[in-house]
Chains A and B, each alone.
Chain A
């Protein structure tokens, strides 16, 4: 008995040890990013022996400098607006289509739903060149609409919401039908509010995807006044790649908003990813 308890304690110790080592590895890049951002360039490239903390004061002003010289306010605004519009469009179109596929009967349902499934299976790179041509023809290069364009509808979201609607009980809707509600009213007032968790998952997923995407904003918004945080970083790196504190301050500024949102809505993030299991 005694040895079993000792064994259990040893197991626990090993588990904690592994978890702590991994947590340390996960956090080092973040720590180094912030610490570098607070140094002067001279300190950052000093190899003597290892200069962990800034020696001559913490240069918080690096953030202010980067904020101004790279017009971060504009990047924030562009990114936020793009995310907002993408989330609105995705949720709106997907909840409507999801309701129809999940709960209504209509001719051609199997065929139309197979279009949704096929889109999910095709690698999205195949859409990019013609999408770019369309955005060019519409005159949407270097505009928010250009950034939002490929995300106006979502096959993945439709699939996710369809599953959500299918899981709801039948009686609620039947009762409402007897009370004389038409399909639109039943959808809007009874069914849609019940799929809130699926909607939240889709919103988080869409926001994360839009925030992280690099290739599309680089293609359609080549002007740094119209582009997003991700593509803005790529531009800055091309120009000022060897000013390490500047680059790290820019990276911190670019990831802070999503980290704050994540820390606030952690439960929704984790559940959203776990239940939707979308590919990011």
Chain B
């Protein structure tokens, strides 16, 4: 059956190939029309300037890129995005790991805790952002009320990015935790039993067994969350009003792209920003792959 592919196809093989091509046709055509053509078209558009009503497209070469690289807001937004990603990913992963380890101990009430932690995952970020915006409200918000403070959580440029990051952490903990629990359940119990006989206690077990054996899961979560965080949009768009003085210190690259491409209808410049984002994410992905070989312990 498994003959090399050089020979002439038999009738049965031809038949199989026909079915297969018919089965993949919708997906492949869809991917070409909906993804591959648009990707190429975005590259093309980044060399054009769109006219007032988007009708007249004028070739401008690298002008969009030159403008983008010289604009300080581009770099500011890149910095904002990276800062947001660090604030969301690192605490989001650490807290989720701790919760997952606790919930994996077969305590009573585990499933109730799991349900609660996962809850933000099924909520629309638009709604989540509205609630947090209200909690952060400087005059009437719950936080300033309870702590008797007068903090401008989301309009003080120095802390607004952290406040938005906290919403991100709150939103993803449950998701990370579920993935960690799945990873923990794959670690064989014998390791822990052997460690217990050798007198290793909980915390030493955690650092010498759990952390290394869980590293593939951890790496996967960090990578997916990092890319998710670097393309954040919803939270910032909903939390930060157009008039918010801290907006320029929080705005992410995707928000900047949305602003140019759809609010200001400058598709060409928007396309250039997307290219900037894509290149940045590709670089990050490349380094993550390098890091994976070094840090991850595969059994």
Q: Which residues of A contact B (CB under 8 A)?
A: 11-12, 15-16, 18-19, 22-23, 25-30, 32-33, 36, 44-47, 49-50, 92-94, 96-97, 99-101, 104-107, 109, 112, 115-116, 119, 121-134, 149-150, 152-155, 158, 182-184, 187, 208, 211-212, 214-215, 218-219, 229-231, 233-234, 237, 241, 244, 247-248, 250-252, 254-255, 258-259, 261-263, 266, 269-270, 273-275, 277, 279-280
Q: Which 5 A-B pairs have the closest CB atoms?
A: A153-B30, A130-B38, A106-B20, A274-B182, A97-B27
| Distance of B163 from chain A, by nearest CB (Å) | 13
Q: A116-B27, A244-B140 are in contact. Are A19 and B125 (CB under 8 A)?
A: no
With both beta carbons as reference points, the residue of chain A lying nearest to B230 in the complex is identified as A123
Chain B residues in 8 Å Cβ range of A241: 241
Chain B residues in 8 Å Cβ range of A122: 35, 39, 278
Which of A18, A101, A105, A133 lies at the interface centre, i.e. has the most chain B CB atoms within 10 A of its CB? A105
Partner of A29, one of B31, B126, B131, B181: B131
| Distance of A28 from chain B, by nearest CB (Å) | 8
> What are 25 A-to-B residue pairs whose CB atoms are below 8 Å?
A12-B107, A19-B113, A26-B174, A30-B119, A46-B140, A94-B27, A97-B27, A97-B28, A105-B20, A106-B21, A107-B5, A123-B277, A129-B274, A131-B38, A133-B41, A153-B34, A182-B19, A183-B16, A219-B262, A229-B126, A231-B126, A251-B127, A254-B126, A270-B114, A273-B121
Whether B35 lies near A127 (C-beta < 8 A) is yes
From residue 75 to 130 of chain B, which have CB atoms closer than 8 A to chain A? 95, 98-99, 102-103, 105, 107, 113-128, 130
Q: A12-B107, A106-B17, A129-B270 are in contact. Are A47 and B139 (CB under 8 A)?
A: yes
| Distance of B255 from chain A, by nearest CB (Å) | 9
Q: A96-B26, A116-B27 are in contact. Are A129 and B261 (CB under 8 A)?
A: yes
| Distance of B117 from chain A, by nearest CB (Å) | 6
Chain B residues in 8 Å Cβ range of A211: 124
From residue 251 to 294 of chain B, which have CB atoms closer than 8 A to chain A? 254, 257-258, 261-262, 267, 270-271, 274-275, 277-278, 281, 285
Question: Cβ of B51 < 8 Å from any Cβ of A?
Answer: no
- Stretch in B60-68, B207-215, B220-228 touching the partner: B220-228
Partner of A116, one of B31, B41, B125, B267: B31
Q: Which residues of B contact A (CB under 8 A)?
A: 5, 13, 15-17, 19-21, 23-24, 26-28, 30-32, 34-39, 41-42, 45, 95, 98-99, 102-103, 105, 107, 113-128, 130-132, 134-135, 137, 139-140, 142, 145-146, 170, 173-175, 178-179, 181-182, 202, 220, 224, 227-228, 231, 233-234, 237-238, 241, 254, 257-258, 261-262, 267, 270-271, 274-275, 277-278, 281, 285
Chain B residues in 8 Å Cβ range of A150: 34
Partner of A183, one of B15, B220, B274: B15
Chain A residues in 8 Å Cβ range of B28: 97, 112, 115
Whether B125 lies near A16 (C-beta < 8 A) is no
- Please measure, in the bound complex, the distance between the C-alpha atom of A273 and the C-alpha atom of B178, giving whole angstroms: 7
Chain A residues in 8 Å Cβ range of B173: 22, 26
Whether A280 lies near B23 (C-beta < 8 A) is no
Partner of B99, one of A22, A94, A100, A158: A22
Partner of A104, one of B23, B134, B234: B23
Whether B35 lies near A208 (C-beta < 8 A) is no
Whether B124 lies near A229 (C-beta < 8 A) is yes
Whether B38 lies near A266 (C-beta < 8 A) is no
Chain B residues in 8 Å Cβ range of A273: 121, 175, 178-179
Which secondary structure characterizes the binding site on chain B?
Answer: helix
With both beta carbons as reference points, the residue of chain B lying nearest to A113 in the complex is identified as B24
Whether B127 lies near A214 (C-beta < 8 A) is no
With both beta carbons as reference points, the residue of chain B lying nearest to A49 in the complex is identified as B145
Partner of A50, one of B38, B145, B170: B145
- Please measure, in the bound complex, the distance between the C-alpha atom of A187 and the C-alpha atom of B122, giving whole angstroms: 33
Q: A26-B120, A28-B135 are in contact. List 13 more A-B contacts (CB 8 A).
A: A19-B99, A26-B117, A97-B28, A106-B21, A122-B39, A125-B257, A127-B42, A129-B270, A131-B34, A152-B30, A184-B19, A247-B134, A269-B122
Partner of A97, one of B24, B37, B42, B134: B24
- Please measure, in the bound complex, the distance between the C-alpha atom of A11 and the C-alpha atom of B105, giving whole angstroms: 11
Chain A residues in 8 Å Cβ range of B231: 123-125
Whether A96 lies near B27 (C-beta < 8 A) is yes
With both beta carbons as reference points, the residue of chain B lying nearest to A30 in the complex is identified as B119
| Distance of B172 from chain A, by nearest CB (Å) | 9
| Distance of B32 from chain A, by nearest CB (Å) | 8
Chain A residues in 8 Å Cβ range of B26: 92-93, 96-97, 153
Partner of A255, one of B115, B123, B137: B123
Chain A residues in 8 Å Cβ range of B145: 47, 49-50
| Distance of B196 from chain A, by nearest CB (Å) | 11
- Please measure, in the bound complex, the distance between the C-alpha atom of A92 and the C-alpha atom of B119, giving whole angstroms: 29
Whether A215 lies near B258 (C-beta < 8 A) is yes
Whether A208 lies near B17 (C-beta < 8 A) is no
- Please measure, in the bound complex, the distance between the C-alpha atom of A153 and the C-alpha atom of B27, giving whole angstroms: 6
Chain B residues in 8 Å Cβ range of A127: 34-35, 38-39, 42
- Please measure, in the bound complex, the distance between the C-alpha atom of A101 and the C-alpha atom of B275, giving whole angstroms: 31
